[in-house]
A and B are shown apart, each in its own frame.
Chain A
Amino acid sequence: MIPAAFDYVRAGSADEAISLLAEHGDEAKVLAGGHSLVPLMKLRLATPSVLVDVGRVDDLKYIRDEGDHVAIGALTRHRDVEISDVLRRDVPILAHATSHVGDPQVRHRGTIGGSLAHGDPASDLPAVLLALGATLVVQGADGTREVAADDFFQGFLETAVGEAELLTEIRVPKATGAGWSFQKFNRRAQDWAIVGVACVRRGDDQVGIGLVNMDSRPVHAAATEAAIASGASVEDAAAVADEGTEPAADLNASVEFRRHLARVLTGRALAEASS
Protein backbone atom coordinates (compact mmCIF):
# COMPACT_ATOMS: atom_id res chain seq x y z
CA MET A 1 0.00 0.00 0.00
CA ILE A 2 1.36 3.37 -1.01
CA PRO A 3 0.08 6.73 0.25
CA ALA A 4 -1.52 9.21 -2.14
CA ALA A 5 0.96 11.77 -3.47
CA PHE A 6 1.79 14.72 -1.23
CA ASP A 7 4.33 17.52 -0.96
CA TYR A 8 6.90 17.11 1.79
CA VAL A 9 8.36 20.01 3.73
CA ARG A 10 10.74 19.77 6.64
CA ALA A 11 10.51 22.18 9.57
CA GLY A 12 13.70 23.12 11.41
CA SER A 13 11.90 24.54 14.42
CA ALA A 14 8.48 24.73 16.07
CA ASP A 15 8.06 28.29 14.76
CA GLU A 16 8.83 27.21 11.22
CA ALA A 17 6.39 24.30 11.49
CA ILE A 18 3.65 26.65 12.67
CA SER A 19 4.20 29.10 9.80
CA LEU A 20 4.24 26.22 7.30
CA LEU A 21 0.96 24.95 8.76
CA ALA A 22 -0.54 28.44 8.51
CA GLU A 23 0.60 28.68 4.89
CA HIS A 24 -0.90 25.36 3.83
CA GLY A 25 -4.10 25.41 5.92
CA ASP A 26 -6.24 22.32 6.34
CA GLU A 27 -4.46 20.54 3.49
CA ALA A 28 -1.43 20.02 5.71
CA LYS A 29 -0.72 17.43 8.40
CA VAL A 30 2.12 17.30 10.90
CA LEU A 31 4.45 14.31 10.57
CA ALA A 32 6.37 13.34 13.74
CA GLY A 33 7.34 9.65 14.06
CA GLY A 34 4.64 8.78 11.54
CA HIS A 35 3.40 5.68 13.33
CA SER A 36 -0.20 6.85 13.53
CA LEU A 37 -0.33 8.96 10.36
CA VAL A 38 1.59 6.85 7.82
CA PRO A 39 -0.61 3.75 8.33
CA LEU A 40 -3.71 5.91 7.79
CA MET A 41 -2.16 7.41 4.66
CA LYS A 42 -1.29 3.97 3.32
CA LEU A 43 -4.94 2.97 3.73
CA ARG A 44 -5.88 6.30 2.06
CA LEU A 45 -7.99 7.12 5.11
CA ALA A 46 -5.85 10.26 5.33
CA THR A 47 -4.83 12.06 2.16
CA PRO A 48 -3.09 15.29 3.19
CA SER A 49 -1.61 17.19 0.27
CA VAL A 50 1.27 18.55 2.38
CA LEU A 51 3.23 16.87 5.16
CA VAL A 52 5.14 19.13 7.53
CA ASP A 53 7.88 16.94 9.01
CA VAL A 54 8.81 18.03 12.52
CA GLY A 55 10.85 14.87 13.20
CA ARG A 56 14.12 16.81 13.21
CA VAL A 57 13.06 19.51 15.67
CA ASP A 58 15.47 18.27 18.30
CA ASP A 59 14.66 20.93 20.91
CA LEU A 60 11.25 19.27 21.38
CA LYS A 61 12.91 16.04 22.52
CA TYR A 62 13.43 16.13 26.28
CA ILE A 63 12.27 14.87 29.67
CA ARG A 64 12.81 17.47 32.40
CA ASP A 65 12.26 17.31 36.14
CA GLU A 66 10.42 20.57 36.93
CA GLY A 67 9.87 20.07 40.66
CA ASP A 68 6.18 19.27 41.03
CA HIS A 69 5.84 17.97 37.48
CA VAL A 70 7.82 16.40 34.67
CA ALA A 71 7.90 18.24 31.34
CA ILE A 72 8.14 16.05 28.26
CA GLY A 73 8.89 17.46 24.81
CA ALA A 74 6.25 16.42 22.30
CA LEU A 75 8.80 14.76 20.02
CA THR A 76 10.18 12.50 22.74
CA ARG A 77 9.98 8.94 21.49
CA HIS A 78 8.04 6.25 23.32
CA ARG A 79 11.29 4.37 23.90
CA ASP A 80 12.79 7.33 25.75
CA VAL A 81 9.69 7.73 27.93
CA GLU A 82 9.72 4.01 28.68
CA ILE A 83 13.29 3.98 30.00
CA SER A 84 13.41 7.44 31.62
CA ASP A 85 14.70 7.24 35.20
CA VAL A 86 12.79 10.38 36.18
CA LEU A 87 9.50 9.04 34.86
CA ARG A 88 10.03 5.56 36.27
CA ARG A 89 10.53 7.13 39.69
CA ASP A 90 8.03 9.99 39.68
CA VAL A 91 5.38 9.01 37.11
CA PRO A 92 5.77 5.23 36.90
CA ILE A 93 2.35 4.66 35.33
CA LEU A 94 3.38 6.67 32.24
CA ALA A 95 6.67 4.81 31.73
CA HIS A 96 4.87 1.50 32.27
CA ALA A 97 1.91 2.22 29.97
CA THR A 98 4.29 3.48 27.29
CA SER A 99 6.09 0.12 27.38
CA HIS A 100 2.76 -1.37 26.20
CA VAL A 101 2.39 0.93 23.19
CA GLY A 102 2.73 -1.07 19.96
CA ASP A 103 5.99 -3.04 19.95
CA PRO A 104 9.70 -2.19 20.27
CA GLN A 105 10.02 -1.10 16.63
CA VAL A 106 7.01 1.18 16.95
CA ARG A 107 8.36 2.64 20.20
CA HIS A 108 11.68 3.45 18.52
CA ARG A 109 9.89 5.75 16.06
CA GLY A 110 6.58 6.85 17.57
CA THR A 111 6.46 9.96 19.75
CA ILE A 112 4.36 10.86 22.78
CA GLY A 113 3.16 14.06 21.13
CA GLY A 114 2.28 12.32 17.88
CA SER A 115 0.26 9.70 19.71
CA LEU A 116 -1.63 12.28 21.80
CA ALA A 117 -2.26 14.69 18.92
CA HIS A 118 -3.73 11.79 16.94
CA GLY A 119 -6.51 11.70 19.56
CA ASP A 120 -7.38 8.04 19.17
CA PRO A 121 -9.65 6.78 22.00
CA ALA A 122 -8.15 3.30 21.52
CA SER A 123 -4.61 4.37 22.30
CA ASP A 124 -3.12 3.92 25.76
CA LEU A 125 -1.54 7.26 26.62
CA PRO A 126 -4.56 9.60 26.60
CA ALA A 127 -6.20 7.59 29.40
CA VAL A 128 -2.99 7.82 31.42
CA LEU A 129 -2.88 11.60 31.01
CA LEU A 130 -6.52 11.85 32.14
CA ALA A 131 -5.78 9.75 35.21
CA LEU A 132 -2.75 11.90 36.08
CA GLY A 133 -4.44 15.25 35.36
CA ALA A 134 -1.76 16.30 32.87
CA THR A 135 -1.52 19.59 31.00
CA LEU A 136 -0.65 19.95 27.33
CA VAL A 137 1.14 22.93 25.85
CA VAL A 138 0.04 24.04 22.39
CA GLN A 139 2.00 26.58 20.40
CA GLY A 140 0.57 28.86 17.69
CA ALA A 141 1.60 32.02 15.89
CA ASP A 142 0.67 34.13 18.94
CA GLY A 143 2.53 32.07 21.51
CA THR A 144 1.65 29.12 23.69
CA ARG A 145 -1.42 28.10 25.63
CA GLU A 146 -1.99 25.40 28.21
CA VAL A 147 -4.81 22.91 27.81
CA ALA A 148 -5.90 20.50 30.53
CA ALA A 149 -5.97 16.88 29.40
CA ASP A 150 -9.70 16.89 30.23
CA ASP A 151 -10.26 19.55 27.54
CA PHE A 152 -7.69 18.29 25.03
CA PHE A 153 -9.48 15.23 23.64
CA GLN A 154 -12.59 16.58 21.95
CA GLY A 155 -13.88 13.81 19.70
CA PHE A 156 -12.85 10.87 17.55
CA LEU A 157 -9.34 11.79 16.30
CA GLU A 158 -10.10 15.39 17.28
CA THR A 159 -8.08 17.41 19.76
CA ALA A 160 -7.80 21.01 20.92
CA VAL A 161 -4.81 21.56 18.60
CA GLY A 162 -5.84 24.08 15.93
CA GLU A 163 -4.94 23.99 12.23
CA ALA A 164 -1.88 26.19 12.56
CA GLU A 165 -0.82 24.97 15.99
CA LEU A 166 1.64 22.41 17.28
CA LEU A 167 1.55 20.33 20.46
CA THR A 168 4.95 21.09 21.98
CA GLU A 169 5.03 19.83 25.57
CA ILE A 170 3.26 17.50 27.97
CA ARG A 171 3.36 18.44 31.67
CA VAL A 172 2.72 15.51 33.94
CA PRO A 173 2.16 16.09 37.68
CA LYS A 174 4.40 13.83 39.71
CA ALA A 175 2.78 10.83 41.35
CA THR A 176 5.78 9.69 43.37
CA GLY A 177 4.67 7.00 45.78
CA ALA A 178 1.02 7.17 44.69
CA GLY A 179 -0.81 3.91 44.00
CA TRP A 180 -1.30 3.19 40.31
CA SER A 181 -2.39 0.53 37.89
CA PHE A 182 -2.62 0.17 34.14
CA GLN A 183 -4.91 -2.56 32.89
CA LYS A 184 -4.87 -3.35 29.18
CA PHE A 185 -7.16 -6.06 27.89
CA ASN A 186 -6.32 -7.34 24.44
CA ARG A 187 -6.29 -10.66 22.66
CA ARG A 188 -2.81 -10.64 21.12
CA ALA A 189 0.51 -9.15 22.21
CA GLN A 190 0.71 -6.04 20.04
CA ASP A 191 -3.03 -5.34 19.66
CA TRP A 192 -4.82 -2.20 20.70
CA ALA A 193 -6.68 -2.45 23.98
CA ILE A 194 -10.23 -3.74 23.64
CA VAL A 195 -10.67 -1.80 26.87
CA GLY A 196 -7.99 -0.28 29.07
CA VAL A 197 -8.00 1.42 32.44
CA ALA A 198 -5.39 3.82 33.85
CA CYS A 199 -5.71 4.50 37.56
CA VAL A 200 -3.74 6.84 39.85
CA ARG A 201 -4.68 6.88 43.53
CA ARG A 202 -3.19 9.80 45.40
CA GLY A 203 -5.16 9.33 48.61
CA ASP A 204 -8.07 7.46 50.22
CA ASP A 205 -10.66 9.66 48.57
CA GLN A 206 -8.68 10.89 45.59
CA VAL A 207 -8.40 8.80 42.46
CA GLY A 208 -8.01 9.58 38.76
CA ILE A 209 -9.20 6.98 36.25
CA GLY A 210 -8.94 7.18 32.47
CA LEU A 211 -10.63 4.69 30.15
CA VAL A 212 -9.29 3.39 26.83
CA ASN A 213 -11.75 2.61 24.05
CA MET A 214 -14.92 3.28 26.06
CA ASP A 215 -16.19 6.26 24.04
CA SER A 216 -15.52 8.21 20.86
CA ARG A 217 -12.82 10.02 22.81
CA PRO A 218 -10.66 9.20 25.83
CA VAL A 219 -12.84 9.65 28.94
CA HIS A 220 -12.74 9.46 32.72
CA ALA A 221 -14.54 6.82 34.73
CA ALA A 222 -16.24 9.82 36.34
CA ALA A 223 -18.83 7.91 38.37
CA THR A 224 -16.13 5.73 39.90
CA GLU A 225 -13.97 8.75 40.74
CA ALA A 226 -16.96 10.39 42.45
CA ALA A 227 -17.83 7.21 44.33
CA ILE A 228 -14.30 6.92 45.72
CA ALA A 229 -14.36 10.61 46.67
CA SER A 230 -17.50 9.99 48.73
CA GLY A 231 -16.03 6.99 50.50
CA ALA A 232 -17.45 4.06 48.51
CA SER A 233 -15.73 0.66 48.59
CA VAL A 234 -13.58 -0.47 45.66
CA GLU A 235 -16.28 -2.98 44.66
CA ASP A 236 -19.09 -0.43 44.69
CA ALA A 237 -16.99 2.19 42.90
CA ALA A 238 -15.91 -0.23 40.17
CA ALA A 239 -19.52 -1.28 39.56
CA VAL A 240 -20.27 2.14 38.05
CA ALA A 241 -17.10 2.46 35.92
CA ASP A 242 -18.99 2.43 32.60
CA GLU A 243 -21.62 4.94 33.70
CA GLY A 244 -21.89 7.87 31.32
CA THR A 245 -19.72 6.25 28.63
CA GLU A 246 -20.83 5.36 25.11
CA PRO A 247 -18.60 2.56 23.87
CA ALA A 248 -18.89 1.26 20.30
CA ALA A 249 -19.23 -2.33 19.13
CA ASP A 250 -16.66 -3.78 16.75
CA LEU A 251 -15.24 -7.15 15.69
CA ASN A 252 -13.56 -7.60 19.08
CA ALA A 253 -16.33 -6.69 21.46
CA SER A 254 -20.00 -5.81 21.80
CA VAL A 255 -21.09 -2.73 23.72
CA GLU A 256 -22.14 -4.87 26.68
CA PHE A 257 -18.82 -6.74 26.75
CA ARG A 258 -16.95 -3.43 26.74
CA ARG A 259 -19.07 -2.18 29.65
CA HIS A 260 -18.39 -5.41 31.51
CA LEU A 261 -14.65 -5.12 30.85
CA ALA A 262 -14.61 -1.52 32.05
CA ARG A 263 -16.17 -2.53 35.37
CA VAL A 264 -13.96 -5.58 35.88
CA LEU A 265 -10.73 -3.85 34.85
CA THR A 266 -11.54 -0.79 36.96
CA GLY A 267 -12.04 -3.11 39.93
CA ARG A 268 -8.66 -4.72 39.31
CA ALA A 269 -7.02 -1.34 38.79
CA LEU A 270 -8.47 0.10 41.99
CA ALA A 271 -7.42 -2.98 43.95
CA GLU A 272 -3.88 -2.82 42.61
CA ALA A 273 -3.60 0.95 43.08
CA SER A 274 -4.95 0.71 46.63
CA SER A 275 -2.72 -2.13 47.79
Chain B
Amino acid sequence: MLRIEKLKKSYGKLPVLQDLTLHIAQGEIYGLLGPNGAGKTTTINIICNLLQADSGAIAINNQPVSEATKPLIGVAPQENLLYKTLTCEENLNFFARIYGLPAKERQKQVQACLAAVNLADRAKSPVETLSGGMQRRLNIAAALVHHPKLAILDEPTTGLDIEARYEVWELIRRLQNQGITILLTTHLLDEAERLCQRIGILKNGRILAEGSLAELRQLIPAQEIVVVQTKDEESAIARAKKNGFIHRRYGNDLAFWLPEHLELKEIISRFDGIPLDSIARQPVRLEHIYVEVTQA
Protein backbone atom coordinates (compact mmCIF):
# COMPACT_ATOMS: atom_id res chain seq x y z
CA MET B 1 0.00 0.00 0.00
CA LEU B 2 2.75 2.44 0.96
CA ARG B 3 6.27 2.08 -0.41
CA ILE B 4 8.98 4.48 0.62
CA GLU B 5 12.39 3.90 -0.96
CA LYS B 6 15.59 5.64 0.07
CA LEU B 7 13.92 8.90 0.93
CA LYS B 8 16.21 11.82 1.67
CA LYS B 9 15.24 15.22 2.99
CA SER B 10 17.31 18.00 4.49
CA TYR B 11 16.34 21.38 5.90
CA GLY B 12 19.29 23.47 4.78
CA LYS B 13 22.34 21.53 5.91
CA LEU B 14 20.43 19.55 8.50
CA PRO B 15 19.57 16.06 7.23
CA VAL B 16 16.14 15.00 8.48
CA LEU B 17 15.56 11.82 6.50
CA GLN B 18 18.48 9.67 5.43
CA ASP B 19 17.70 6.86 3.02
CA LEU B 20 14.43 6.11 4.75
CA THR B 21 12.90 2.94 3.40
CA LEU B 22 9.68 1.43 4.63
CA HIS B 23 6.91 -0.70 3.18
CA ILE B 24 3.44 -1.05 4.61
CA ALA B 25 1.17 -3.83 3.37
CA GLN B 26 -2.53 -3.48 2.62
CA GLY B 27 -4.62 -3.76 5.80
CA GLU B 28 -1.64 -3.55 8.12
CA ILE B 29 -1.29 -1.32 11.18
CA TYR B 30 2.27 -0.04 11.11
CA GLY B 31 3.63 1.87 14.09
CA LEU B 32 6.24 4.51 13.37
CA LEU B 33 8.00 5.34 16.60
CA GLY B 34 10.82 7.66 17.39
CA PRO B 35 11.93 10.50 19.61
CA ASN B 36 10.95 14.09 18.83
CA GLY B 37 12.86 15.29 15.79
CA ALA B 38 13.37 11.77 14.45
CA GLY B 39 11.66 12.65 11.16
CA LYS B 40 8.14 11.25 11.68
CA THR B 41 6.29 14.46 10.86
CA THR B 42 8.54 15.17 7.87
CA THR B 43 7.76 11.67 6.58
CA ILE B 44 4.02 12.30 6.97
CA ASN B 45 4.34 15.68 5.24
CA ILE B 46 6.04 14.01 2.28
CA ILE B 47 3.43 11.22 2.13
CA CYS B 48 0.73 13.92 2.08
CA ASN B 49 2.54 15.79 -0.70
CA LEU B 50 2.97 18.84 1.52
CA LEU B 51 6.76 18.61 1.27
CA GLN B 52 9.00 17.47 -1.53
CA ALA B 53 11.72 14.94 -0.78
CA ASP B 54 15.25 15.72 -2.00
CA SER B 55 15.52 12.25 -3.47
CA GLY B 56 14.01 8.80 -3.23
CA ALA B 57 10.66 7.40 -4.25
CA ILE B 58 7.33 7.19 -2.52
CA ALA B 59 4.18 5.52 -3.81
CA ILE B 60 0.73 4.90 -2.42
CA ASN B 61 -1.24 2.06 -3.96
CA ASN B 62 1.46 1.96 -6.67
CA GLN B 63 0.92 5.63 -7.59
CA PRO B 64 3.78 8.08 -7.04
CA VAL B 65 2.79 10.69 -4.46
CA SER B 66 1.24 13.77 -6.04
CA GLU B 67 -1.90 15.89 -5.70
CA ALA B 68 -3.74 12.95 -7.29
CA THR B 69 -2.90 10.65 -4.38
CA LYS B 70 -4.37 13.01 -1.77
CA PRO B 71 -7.81 11.35 -1.87
CA LEU B 72 -6.15 7.99 -1.10
CA ILE B 73 -4.95 9.31 2.25
CA GLY B 74 -6.85 10.27 5.37
CA VAL B 75 -4.89 12.10 8.01
CA ALA B 76 -5.89 12.57 11.63
CA PRO B 77 -3.30 15.04 12.94
CA GLN B 78 -2.34 15.36 16.60
CA GLU B 79 -4.56 18.40 17.09
CA ASN B 80 -8.30 18.19 16.55
CA LEU B 81 -8.55 20.16 13.31
CA LEU B 82 -12.28 20.78 13.31
CA TYR B 83 -14.62 23.73 12.93
CA LYS B 84 -15.73 24.27 16.52
CA THR B 85 -19.00 26.08 15.83
CA LEU B 86 -20.19 23.53 13.27
CA THR B 87 -21.92 20.34 14.32
CA CYS B 88 -20.29 16.93 13.95
CA GLU B 89 -22.44 16.23 10.91
CA GLU B 90 -21.64 19.60 9.29
CA ASN B 91 -17.91 19.09 9.80
CA LEU B 92 -17.92 15.66 8.15
CA ASN B 93 -20.25 16.87 5.42
CA PHE B 94 -17.88 19.74 4.63
CA PHE B 95 -14.82 17.50 4.38
CA ALA B 96 -16.74 14.94 2.32
CA ARG B 97 -17.74 17.70 -0.13
CA ILE B 98 -14.14 18.88 -0.43
CA TYR B 99 -13.18 15.33 -1.40
CA GLY B 100 -15.97 15.25 -3.99
CA LEU B 101 -18.33 12.66 -2.57
CA PRO B 102 -21.69 12.84 -4.39
CA ALA B 103 -24.61 14.08 -2.25
CA LYS B 104 -26.32 10.73 -1.69
CA GLU B 105 -23.16 8.87 -0.89
CA ARG B 106 -22.04 11.76 1.29
CA GLN B 107 -25.11 11.54 3.49
CA LYS B 108 -24.64 7.81 3.90
CA GLN B 109 -20.93 8.06 4.53
CA VAL B 110 -21.28 10.87 7.08
CA GLN B 111 -23.79 8.82 9.07
CA ALA B 112 -21.64 5.69 8.75
CA CYS B 113 -18.56 7.54 10.00
CA LEU B 114 -20.46 9.05 12.92
CA ALA B 115 -21.72 5.60 13.83
CA ALA B 116 -18.22 4.13 13.46
CA VAL B 117 -16.84 6.58 16.01
CA ASN B 118 -19.89 6.22 18.30
CA LEU B 119 -21.04 9.78 17.75
CA ALA B 120 -24.31 9.11 15.90
CA ASP B 121 -26.31 10.48 18.82
CA ARG B 122 -24.19 13.66 18.83
CA ALA B 123 -24.52 14.32 15.09
CA LYS B 124 -26.27 17.65 15.64
CA SER B 125 -24.03 18.80 18.50
CA PRO B 126 -21.56 21.61 17.83
CA VAL B 127 -17.97 20.38 18.15
CA GLU B 128 -17.25 22.87 20.94
CA THR B 129 -19.76 21.04 23.17
CA LEU B 130 -18.01 17.66 22.83
CA SER B 131 -15.55 16.19 25.32
CA GLY B 132 -11.86 15.85 24.37
CA GLY B 133 -12.29 12.15 23.62
CA MET B 134 -15.32 12.76 21.42
CA GLN B 135 -13.48 15.49 19.51
CA ARG B 136 -10.56 13.14 18.98
CA ARG B 137 -12.87 10.47 17.58
CA LEU B 138 -14.52 13.01 15.31
CA ASN B 139 -11.05 14.13 14.19
CA ILE B 140 -10.40 10.53 13.11
CA ALA B 141 -13.83 10.33 11.44
CA ALA B 142 -12.99 13.46 9.44
CA ALA B 143 -9.93 11.64 8.13
CA LEU B 144 -12.02 8.66 7.03
CA VAL B 145 -15.10 10.26 5.55
CA HIS B 146 -13.81 10.05 1.97
CA HIS B 147 -12.96 6.31 2.05
CA PRO B 148 -9.15 6.61 2.15
CA LYS B 149 -7.04 3.54 1.55
CA LEU B 150 -4.33 4.71 3.92
CA ALA B 151 -5.13 6.35 7.26
CA ILE B 152 -2.35 8.26 8.99
CA LEU B 153 -3.08 8.63 12.68
CA ASP B 154 -0.65 11.00 14.35
CA GLU B 155 -0.65 10.44 18.11
CA PRO B 156 -4.35 9.61 18.14
CA THR B 157 -4.69 9.17 21.91
CA THR B 158 -2.31 11.78 23.29
CA GLY B 159 -3.97 13.70 26.10
CA LEU B 160 -6.94 11.35 26.41
CA ASP B 161 -8.06 9.61 29.58
CA ILE B 162 -7.91 5.83 29.67
CA GLU B 163 -11.60 5.31 28.80
CA ALA B 164 -11.33 7.54 25.75
CA ARG B 165 -8.07 5.81 24.82
CA TYR B 166 -9.79 2.39 24.87
CA GLU B 167 -12.50 3.78 22.59
CA VAL B 168 -9.94 5.06 20.07
CA TRP B 169 -8.04 1.75 20.14
CA GLU B 170 -11.26 -0.12 19.51
CA LEU B 171 -11.98 2.22 16.60
CA ILE B 172 -8.52 1.64 15.10
CA ARG B 173 -9.04 -2.13 15.26
CA ARG B 174 -12.41 -1.77 13.54
CA LEU B 175 -10.80 0.28 10.78
CA GLN B 176 -8.27 -2.44 10.21
CA ASN B 177 -11.08 -4.99 9.99
CA GLN B 178 -12.56 -2.83 7.22
CA GLY B 179 -9.32 -3.26 5.26
CA ILE B 180 -7.92 0.23 5.86
CA THR B 181 -4.14 0.41 6.07
CA ILE B 182 -3.00 2.43 9.06
CA LEU B 183 0.21 4.31 9.71
CA LEU B 184 0.25 5.12 13.41
CA THR B 185 2.73 7.43 15.07
CA THR B 186 2.74 7.49 18.83
CA HIS B 187 4.92 8.11 21.84
CA LEU B 188 2.81 5.67 23.84
CA LEU B 189 4.69 2.42 23.44
CA ASP B 190 1.98 0.27 25.02
CA GLU B 191 -0.37 1.63 22.37
CA ALA B 192 1.94 0.52 19.58
CA GLU B 193 2.42 -2.82 21.31
CA ARG B 194 -1.32 -3.44 21.49
CA LEU B 195 -2.27 -2.25 18.02
CA CYS B 196 0.56 -2.61 15.51
CA GLN B 197 1.42 -5.66 13.42
CA ARG B 198 4.78 -4.15 12.60
CA ILE B 199 6.76 -1.37 14.16
CA GLY B 200 9.55 0.80 12.82
CA ILE B 201 11.82 2.74 15.16
CA LEU B 202 13.05 5.92 13.55
CA LYS B 203 15.91 8.05 14.73
CA ASN B 204 17.86 10.75 12.92
CA GLY B 205 15.87 10.03 9.79
CA ARG B 206 16.77 6.34 9.65
CA ILE B 207 14.81 3.23 10.53
CA LEU B 208 17.00 1.64 13.19
CA ALA B 209 14.83 -1.41 13.77
CA GLU B 210 11.72 -2.79 12.14
CA GLY B 211 9.52 -5.83 12.48
CA SER B 212 6.75 -7.45 14.46
CA LEU B 213 6.97 -7.27 18.22
CA ALA B 214 8.24 -10.87 18.27
CA GLU B 215 10.94 -9.98 15.74
CA LEU B 216 11.95 -6.86 17.65
CA ARG B 217 12.19 -8.88 20.87
CA GLN B 218 15.07 -10.76 19.27
CA LEU B 219 17.10 -7.56 19.60
CA ILE B 220 17.26 -8.08 23.33
CA PRO B 221 18.94 -11.36 24.34
CA ALA B 222 16.69 -11.84 27.35
CA GLN B 223 13.78 -14.06 28.25
CA GLU B 224 12.66 -11.75 30.96
CA ILE B 225 13.62 -8.55 32.72
CA VAL B 226 13.77 -8.03 36.46
CA VAL B 227 13.60 -4.61 38.01
CA VAL B 228 15.12 -4.38 41.45
CA GLN B 229 15.16 -1.76 44.15
CA THR B 230 18.17 -1.83 46.39
CA LYS B 231 20.23 0.55 48.44
CA ASP B 232 23.38 -1.13 47.23
CA GLU B 233 23.12 -0.87 43.46
CA GLU B 234 26.85 -1.24 42.83
CA SER B 235 26.95 -4.63 44.52
CA ALA B 236 23.79 -5.71 42.73
CA ILE B 237 25.31 -4.78 39.37
CA ALA B 238 28.56 -6.56 40.19
CA ARG B 239 26.65 -9.69 41.23
CA ALA B 240 24.52 -9.55 38.12
CA LYS B 241 27.64 -9.42 35.93
CA LYS B 242 28.96 -12.48 37.70
CA ASN B 243 25.67 -14.24 36.93
CA GLY B 244 25.84 -13.23 33.28
CA PHE B 245 22.96 -10.74 33.55
CA ILE B 246 23.21 -7.53 31.55
CA HIS B 247 22.10 -4.45 33.48
CA ARG B 248 20.21 -1.45 32.17
CA ARG B 249 18.54 1.63 33.59
CA TYR B 250 14.99 2.48 32.54
CA GLY B 251 14.49 5.92 34.01
CA ASN B 252 15.37 5.48 37.69
CA ASP B 253 14.77 1.73 37.60
CA LEU B 254 17.69 -0.65 37.72
CA ALA B 255 16.93 -3.68 35.58
CA PHE B 256 18.67 -6.90 34.63
CA TRP B 257 18.17 -8.99 31.54
CA LEU B 258 17.69 -12.66 32.31
CA PRO B 259 19.02 -14.81 29.45
CA GLU B 260 16.82 -17.71 30.56
CA HIS B 261 13.61 -18.13 32.47
CA LEU B 262 14.31 -18.49 36.19
CA GLU B 263 12.04 -19.11 39.16
CA LEU B 264 11.71 -16.16 41.53
CA LYS B 265 13.44 -18.11 44.30
CA GLU B 266 16.34 -18.73 41.96
CA ILE B 267 16.60 -15.05 41.02
CA ILE B 268 16.61 -14.01 44.68
CA SER B 269 19.24 -16.60 45.48
CA ARG B 270 21.48 -15.19 42.73
CA PHE B 271 21.48 -11.86 44.64
CA ASP B 272 22.06 -13.54 48.00
CA GLY B 273 23.63 -11.16 50.50
CA ILE B 274 22.49 -8.00 48.69
CA PRO B 275 19.71 -6.08 50.40
CA LEU B 276 16.85 -6.08 47.85
CA ASP B 277 13.85 -3.88 48.75
CA SER B 278 11.77 -5.20 45.90
CA ILE B 279 12.05 -7.28 42.79
CA ALA B 280 9.64 -7.27 39.87
CA ARG B 281 9.62 -9.53 36.84
CA GLN B 282 8.58 -8.18 33.47
CA PRO B 283 8.39 -9.64 29.99
CA VAL B 284 10.57 -7.93 27.37
CA ARG B 285 8.41 -5.02 26.27
CA LEU B 286 8.56 -2.55 23.44
CA GLU B 287 9.73 0.08 25.91
CA HIS B 288 12.91 -1.93 26.57
CA ILE B 289 13.52 -2.50 22.87
CA TYR B 290 12.90 1.17 22.06
CA VAL B 291 15.37 2.35 24.70
CA GLU B 292 17.92 -0.18 23.53
CA VAL B 293 17.60 0.83 19.88
CA THR B 294 17.41 4.60 20.28
CA GLN B 295 20.13 4.87 22.92
CA ALA B 296 22.58 2.53 21.22
B partners with A: no
By a beta-carbon cutoff of 8 Å, the part of chain B in contact with chain A is none
